[in-house]
Amino acid sequence: MELNQLRAFCAVVENKSFSKAGEAIHLSQPTVSIQINSLERELGARLLDRQGREVTTTGAGAVLYHHARRILQAVNEAEQAIEQLKGLMKGGLTMGASTIPGEYILPSLLAEFKGKHPGIDINLVIGDTKEIVEKVTDAEVEIGVVGTREKSDKLVFTSFTTEKLVLIAPVNRSWLQGEAVTVEELKKVPFILRESGSGTRATVKQKLHEAGVREEDLNVVMMLGSTAAVKRAVESGAGVSLISERAIEKEIRLGLVRKIPVKDLDLDREFFIVYRRGRSLSPATEALLQFLEEKKGFS
């Protein structure tokens, strides 16, 4: 097996597409296909199933992917260590983030980090909190920034920054009139939630529980898989939702939705940096972790 074959294989698995994999590693789709075919011939096993537009791993492919990620990570760490000995900071790193930090907090910070370390290439993977925690646990990414802390002997969670959730409602509905509402009033209106793996969903559930309201008490009309989808649904008049204040600033400013204070409900939330306990991080990731530690508590 050659490293180029493993890079192509991992890119296809992670992007679920030969063409997208080629874009990710700067190769043509035919070249990616050649690398995968040669790898399958060498191992004597089919590694990928091509079902429609999406590519999935076979049993053999899943086993190879697990080991290939570790091999490529070790090679990357070795290359970075050599560069560090030469007095340089070069290499690539992959980090994960849940939706709010990934889309609204980290981009400007990563641009600042890149300005200080131009030789480091950064790949930011965005998913919900559950997905990112799983990727850190499985060593698919070295560190992540997520919206909830989990109990785990394998992971370290450290506080990063805070923000507020806000209640938003459609401008074309007469629900929740007045300058502020109570948590009891939230039970009476159509409510939109994020999907079950979302850090925002977990935080909303916890905050309502602390105020004496169960998630089951809400009139949930939709569960949506992204912050953008929640915003559009509220704009269209489908219901109300609790959402990141950072994520809704533009829509509130343009008058697309209404922001309504909620009485006696603590809507502060926290984000956490997460990484594997006892794992040696690559020099580039160590530099990023130190940078993020210095930025703790910013707003």
- In tens digits, the chain (299 residues) has pLDDT values of 888 999 999 999 988 888 888 888 888 989 999 999 999 999 999 999 887 778 889 999 999 998 998 898 888 878 777 766 555 456 778 899 999 999 999 999 999 999 988 888 888 999 999 999 999 998 889 999 999 898 888 999 999 999 999 999 999 888 877 788 899 899 999 999 999 889 899 999 999 999 999 999 999 999 998 999 999 999 999 999 999 999 999 999 999 999 999 998 889 999 999 999 987 788 888 889 989 988 886 65
pLDDT of residue 84: 62
pLDDT of residue 283: 81
Q: Are 271 and 147 in contact (CB under 8 A)?
A: yes
Assigned CATH topology for domain 89-299:
D-Maltodextrin-Binding Protein; domain 2 (3.40.190)
Please report the sign of the dihedral spanned by the C-alpha atoms of residue 128, residue 154, residue 294, residue 90: negative
Report in angstroms the alpha-carbon separations of 142 from 103, 189, 224: 19, 42, 28
The CA distance from 31 to 49, in Å, is: 18
The CA distance from 17 to 53, in Å, is: 7
Q: Are 120 and 287 in contact (CB under 8 A)?
A: yes
Structure tokens at 218: 């809400």
**Which residue spans within 225-294 are E strands per DSSP?**
241-244, 257-260, 268-276
3-state helix, strand and coil shares in percent for the chain, rounded to the nearest 5: 45, 25, 30
Alpha helices of 86-141 — where are they, by DSSP H? 99-100, 106-116, 129-137
pLDDT of residue 285: 87
Determine phi and psi for 214, rounding to 5 degrees.
-85, 155
Amino acid at 26: H
User: What is the CATH architecture of 1-88?
Assistant: Orthogonal Bundle (1.10)
Domain segments of the chain as ranges:
1-88, 89-299
Bridge-based pairing of strands 120-126 and 143-146 is unpaired
pLDDT of residue 83: 67
**Which residue spans within 54-154 are E strands per DSSP?**
54-57, 91-97, 120-126, 143-146
